Amino acid sequence: MSTRTSDPLATRFRPFGATIFSEMTRLAQQHRAINLSQGFPDFEGPQLVIDHVVEALGSAHNQYARSMGHPELVAALGRMEEELYGLRFDLMSEVLVTSGATEAITSSVLGLVNPRDEVILFEPYYDSYPAAVAMAGGIARFCPLRFPDFALEPSELAALIGPKTRAIVLNSPHNPSGKVFSRDELLVIANLAVKHDLLVISDEVYEHLTYDGISHTPIAGFPGMRERTVTISSAGKTYSFTGWKIGWAFGAAPLIAAVQSAHQFVTFATCTPIQVGLARAMNELGTAYFADLRMSYQKKRDFMCDLLRRTGFELSPPEGTYFVLAAFGGLFSGTDREFAKKLVETVGVATIPPSAFYTRCPEEGAKLLRFAFCKTEATLTAASERLESLSQEP
Ligand code: GLN
């Protein structure tokens, strides 16, 4: 057998392997563990959204949608962005519907980054970012954010910027840390982007999941940023339907045209009946829905943080997302991967070992585990019963 057929993987994917989310969910199923690893709700999103999608399926909304997004969804998204943040986008040229935020990120990088351009990622990062940069032939540079507060060190970011830097990928609220970048931090990033003429790809999928009265601020609203920012979000998190894979991107027309150049060949268009049903449901639910979502997640966050602290983990409570990163040094002396393996096999709780989200400083991640709390009260209570056994170990 030739190497080409026995080992056919293209070199650009060799550094990556299978995603940690698939690996841990598989282990959770194998060991019948409670799955606090992959971030998906174990409850349904609003019935109203399902009803509208079912109706759209039954009323001839089943052929290709407009490549850039069904006009009803594009209109609902544009209205929402203006109502929430005062950001106005032209519906036909500045909004793009994609197959999840993942596709929006990949199409943005493919559409905006040239081979050998450098792209700055904050580390720990969401795992698709370095892979998207590799697909575009770009080079990722990593700006560390460190446990426990994951504060931005402006000089570390500035030091990474050079003549080849094309873009910064920002993610706030931030997965996996739960950090919400402060206005001052966003201003630092915005000022550097303007000064060095950089693009910003801003992944805001957790925009509605912020706690303790903190609110989300899109970086596109900062001076000089509208023309250089692609703002990305997704229905998966906001409406609790991660399997539907509907995402979107807002940005100035030239940026969105570049992202569309990739999108038209990556998927061309996104599932029509879901776009139509989601648009109608969004119009009916309005922005009041977001307050209820936030309140229910705040309770889950508090429950999870209390539990982890009682069990012997160290953490600072996440300001956003549905994840908490916790240090386990008082409980276990090995690596995050070893502890995650022990937890899934012997305690029956699956988590994410976050060293998978580091390239430059993997030792930072090796002392942490990520817990997802987008789960029902029953699941969280069952997990707490299992995890409490850890604090009783000799
Ligand atoms: N975003 C989800 C998480 O962080 C997982 C998505 C995926 O499985 N690719 O857990």
42-47 mean pLDDT = 96
Which residues is 320 bridged to in the sheet?
210
Cis peptide before 148 (omega within 30 of 0): yes
Dihedral sign, Cα of residue 89, residue 93, residue 99, residue 105: negative
Q: Which domain holds residue 148?
A: 47-285
Number of domains in the chain: 2
Q: Which of 234, 4, 37, 20 has the alpha carbon at shortest distance from 130?
A: 20
**Residue 99 included in any domain:** yes
| Strand-by-strand arrangement of the 165-171 sheet | 95-98, 247-250, 229-234, 199-203, 165-171, 118-123, 139-144
Among 15-24, 101-110, 309-318, 384-393, where is mean pLDDT lowest?
384-393
Q: The CATH number of the domain where 316 resides is what?
A: 3.90.1150.10
pLDDT digits (tens, 9 = 90+) for 72-109: 999 999 999 999 999 999 999 999 999 999 999 999 99
Instruction: Clarify whether residues 113 and 218 are in a common domain.
Output: yes
- Rounded distance from Cα 206 to ligand 1 centre (Å): 12
Q: Does 156 share its domain with 281?
A: yes
The residue type of 63 is Q
> In which band, very low, low, confident or very high, does the pLDDT at 393 lie, cut at 50, 70 and 90?
low
Inside any domain, residue 357: yes
Statement to judge: residues 362 and 280 lie in one domain: no
Which ligand 1 atom is nearest residue 22's CA?
A: 8
| Whether residue 23 has pLDDT greater than 70 | yes
DSSP character string of 147-208? TTT----HHHHHHH--TTEEEEEEESSPTTT-----HHHHHHHHHHHHHTT-EEEEE-TTTT
Q: Ligand 1 pocket, 175 CB below 6 A?
A: yes
Q: What is the CATH number of the domain that holds 167?
A: 3.40.640.10
In a domain, 1, yes or no: no
Whose alpha carbon is nearest atom 8 of ligand 1?
A: 21
Find out whether the beta carbon of 100 lies less than 6 Å from any atom of ligand 1. no
Residues 71 and 99 in one domain: yes
User: Per residue in 121-173, pLDDT tens?
Assistant: 999 999 999 999 999 999 999 999 999 999 999 999 999 999 999 999 999 99
Tell me what the mean pLDDT of segment 275-290 comes to: 96
Q: What is the mean pLDDT of the chain?
A: 96
pLDDT tens-place string over residues 110-131 = 999 999 999 999 999 999 999 9
Q: Which of 257, 285, 313 is the last residue of a domain?
A: 285
Pairwise CA distance, residues 166 & 143, whole Å:
15
- The closest-lying atom of ligand 1 relative to the alpha carbon of residue 38 is 10
Give yes or no: residues 193 and 271 share one domain: yes
Check whether residue 266 and residue 155 sit in a common domain: yes
- What is the mean pLDDT of the segment spanning 242-256? 98
Distance 21 CA to ligand 1 centre (A): 6
Domain boundary among 253, 269, 285: 285
34 and 123 co-located in one domain: no
